[in-house]
A = this chain, B = another copy of it.
Amino acid sequence: MSDSPDAVISTSKAAARIRAAAVDAFADAGYGGTTTRDIAARLDMSPAAMYPHYRSKEELLFAISYEGHTEALKVVEDANLPEEGPSVRLRELISVFASWQASHHCLARVVQYELTALTPGHYRTVVALRRNMTQVVRNAVDAGVASGEFTIPDAEGVTLALMSLCVDVCRWFPAGNYTDPKDIGDLYGDLALRMVGAN
């Protein structure tokens, strides 16, 4: 495996199984508390057999983070409908992102909370994907401000809060009566419109 993002997410079944086992292992013991040997053991593999796919725990974390961020970005980009009015657009963006974070909460926890364990190069690659995602939401917020549909104290702060609200879903989901990702999406879509003061 190289540092090239294209090479990271191998479509081979073996590599996908290793990534899935790593997500489970990190969820159980944290990234710092997991060894490549632990991950291989979950698959009845030897560490040597895992090596051609992923040479280190950090490479695996990068593959998982890159895949998770790419998937979430795609979901958000697919829901981005600039031809709709800003309210419909923002509601849809926040709704799909929040429900994705709920549906994929185990993966998302690894992706969100172990970022700082990446090498500087890998960290930069992943942060660029995050920045793209934030920009999609920011553009919708700015469009609503430009059209006069939204009234907000500060576009940067409100966008930060909207992204933060969605990201944190993976930490607490499920909770109480909120056990269906669709319910989170509906609630958060409504709350987003309130936060931007949509009229």
Contacts and interface: CB of A to CB of B under 8 A. Distances in A.
Given A33-B33, A168-B168, A175 B197 contact: no
Interface residues on A, range: 35 or more
Given A30-B31, A32-B34, A33-B33, A175 B194 contact: no
A148 to B, nearest CB: 17
A145 to B, nearest CB: 15
A28 to B, nearest CB: 9
A169 interface: yes
Contact of A187 (B32, B154, B169, B175): B154
Contacts of A117: 30
Interface in A19-41: 29-34
Interface string A153-167: 110111011001101
Interface in A159-199: 160-161, 164-165, 167-169, 171-172, 175-178, 183, 187-188, 190-191, 194-195, 197
Nearest to A176: B156
Contacts of A154: 187
Q: Which 5 A-B pairs have the closest CB atoms?
A: A32-B33, A30-B32, A168-B168, A164-B168, A32-B32
